[in-house]
Amino acid sequence: MPEEGNSQLKKDSFAALRYKDFRSYLGMRFFFTFAYQMQAVVVGFYIYQLTKSAFALGMVGLCEAIPAIGIALYGGYIADKSEKRKMLLVISALVFFASMIMFLVTMKSAAPQIHKGWIVPIIYFMIFLNGLARAFYGPATFTIYAHSIPKELYPNGSTWSSSTWQIASILGPAAGGLIYGFYGITAAFSVIIIFLVFSIFLIYLLRPYPPVFIPKEDIWKSLSEGIRFVLKNKMMIGAMSLDLFSVFFGGAVALLPVFANEILKVGAEGLGVMRAMSSLGAVLTMLAMARFSPMGRPWRNLLIAVTGFGCSIICFALSRNFYLSLVFLFTEGAFDSISVIIRGTIMQLLTPDHMRGRVSAVNSMFIGSSNEIGAFESGSAAKLLGTVPSVIFGGTMTMLIVTVTYLKTKKLIPLTLHEINTAGINAV
């Protein structure tokens, strides 16, 4: 494409949407995320109602994080050497199966003669299967995104992709809480199943994505190549580490059922609104960033965004007013969305085509499961310290991590996106 054409595309806020496969990718991501986020709210509140235990909520995250992290590198290796469309169809079928089992189990649990002790272990195992699927899902979608639009549109595409994810993350939790609260868990899981079917249909509409990597050495050498690439890139490993530790300590999402039920006393309906409010802040900020990019000084803006995230978490923990708590959840989502777009753009720009699956797998080990690991940390800390002190501790640790990262990465702060793209790994 001529340089003038490229310039016009970059100025077009809808440029990425003009590509058919990218639109199918966005639709697939929307419906899958909607179902996944809705299921997280429904399952979390259901387990808390059964157990009345914050630690049991933390175990939900751990059950998903163990397989997602444990086989993430293998998932990236398979994604690099496999046809991506077929791979996504298999992954989605596994998630659909796990959701169907949870649907049937929760429906049967309404019968008075059913013993409730076996329900939670079965749900934990289905969440474990979801974690297995996620280890392959992330690398596959990362590669499809990269090949669905030209490279010069990655910043624009990242904004639309992240916005789509956040919109689904607004509607999914809100729908989960409201449908569960008014109509029960059977109705909620029915909607989840329907949206997973929509996601599978949109995957079917994608064109085939053949592998661009044919392994010439054994699997361990291929995996170590991806790890070495990430570890040599200061900006990439810095962004991953910053997200991992800030979300590990600062994530309060796993404890929202406790806040909704015990502290703010707003029930399942309020929980759905609380889960949605963070995503509302994120999607409104992302829509603004489609026009006003945060990529002028990406590393500086990333540090500012994570600082705002930590402050919002601390303020949320201290609030006892439902509406004020919603404000802090809104700002938490807004700051987090800025860091999501910055990290996503950096990852796409710095990763060569033949290594996208493996680099994405390393990324998922840091970022993709940080929420689930953070959920386990939050549940464990809440058991030891109490719910509110554990969230305050997490927000404080996030602020400390940002400070340490700032002191160690001062040289990255003045770099522009153009400088990062031009110089690549040698510059950062």
For residue 95, what pLDDT is reported?
Answer: 92
CB 30 within 8 A of CB 168: yes
- Decide if 12 is inside a domain: no
Dihedral over Cα of 134, 362, 251, 302: its sign: negative
Considering only residues 238 and 266, tell me which one the structure prediction assigns the higher pLDDT: 266
Distance between CA atoms of 123 and 103, rounded to whole angstroms?
A: 10
Lowest-confidence segment of 226-235, 333-342, 353-362 by average pLDDT? 353-362
370 CB neighbour count, 10 Å cutoff: 24
The mean pLDDT of 156-179, rounded to a whole number, is 80
Amino acid in the structure at residue 157: G
Amino acid in the structure at residue 356: R
CATH number for position 349:
1.20.1250.20
Q: Which helix (H) or strand (E) holds 66?
A: helix 54-70
Number of helices (H) and strands (E), helices first, in the chain? 18, 0
- Decide if 209 is inside a domain: no
For residue 191, what pLDDT is reported?
Answer: 93
- Decide if 1 is inside a domain: no
Indicate whether 183 pLDDT > 60.
Answer: yes
- Decide if 11 is inside a domain: no
Distance between CA atoms of 14 and 19, rounded to whole angstroms?
A: 10
The mean pLDDT of 100-106, rounded to a whole number, is 88
Lowest-confidence segment of 113-117, 142-146, 244-248, 321-325 by average pLDDT? 113-117
- What does the block give as tokens for 190? 């029915």
Q: List, in order, residues 6 or more apart from 118 with CB less than 8 Å away.
A: none
Q: How many domains does the chain have?
A: 1
Q: Which residues of 314-331 are buried (b: 16+ CB within 10 A; e: fewer)?
A: bbbbebeebeebbbbbbb
DSSP 370: H
The mean pLDDT of 196-210, rounded to a whole number, is 89
Indicate whether 287 pLDDT > 70.
Answer: yes
Considering only residues 212 and 80, tell me which one the structure prediction assigns the higher pLDDT: 80
Measuring CA to CA, which residue among 130, 131, 142 is closest to residue 226?
Answer: 142
Cα distances from 140 to residues 76, 143, 213, in angstroms, run 8, 5, 13
Distance between CA atoms of 342 and 345, rounded to whole angstroms?
A: 5
- Decide if 9 is inside a domain: no
Indicate whether 53 pLDDT > 80.
Answer: no
Q: List, in order, residues 6 or more apart from 426 with CB less than 8 Å away.
A: none
DSSP 260: I
CB 9 within 8 A of CB 15: yes
- Decide if 49 is inside a domain: yes
- What does the block give as tokens for 233? 């890139």
Residue with token string 């399952």? 43
The mean pLDDT of 268-295, rounded to a whole number, is 77
For residue 200, what pLDDT is reported?
Answer: 94
Distance between CA atoms of 268 and 410, rounded to whole angstroms?
A: 44
Indicate whether 32 pLDDT > 80.
Answer: yes
The mean pLDDT of 296-303, rounded to a whole number, is 82
- Decide if 356 is inside a domain: yes
Lowest-confidence segment of 21-25, 173-177, 311-315, 329-333 by average pLDDT? 173-177
Give the range of the structural domain holding residue 293, as residue numbers without chain letter.
17-204+219-426
- Decide if 357 is inside a domain: yes
- What does the block give as tokens for 390? 């554990």
Measuring CA to CA, which residue among 374, 367, 274 is closest to residue 323?
Answer: 274
Indicate whether 211 pLDDT > 70.
Answer: yes
DSSP string for residues in 100-168: HHHHHHHHHTTSTTS-GGGHHHHHHHHHHHHHHHHHHHHHHHHHHHHHHS-GGGHHHHHHHHHHHHHHH
Indicate whether 399 pLDDT > 80.
Answer: yes
For residue 3, what pLDDT is reported?
Answer: 42
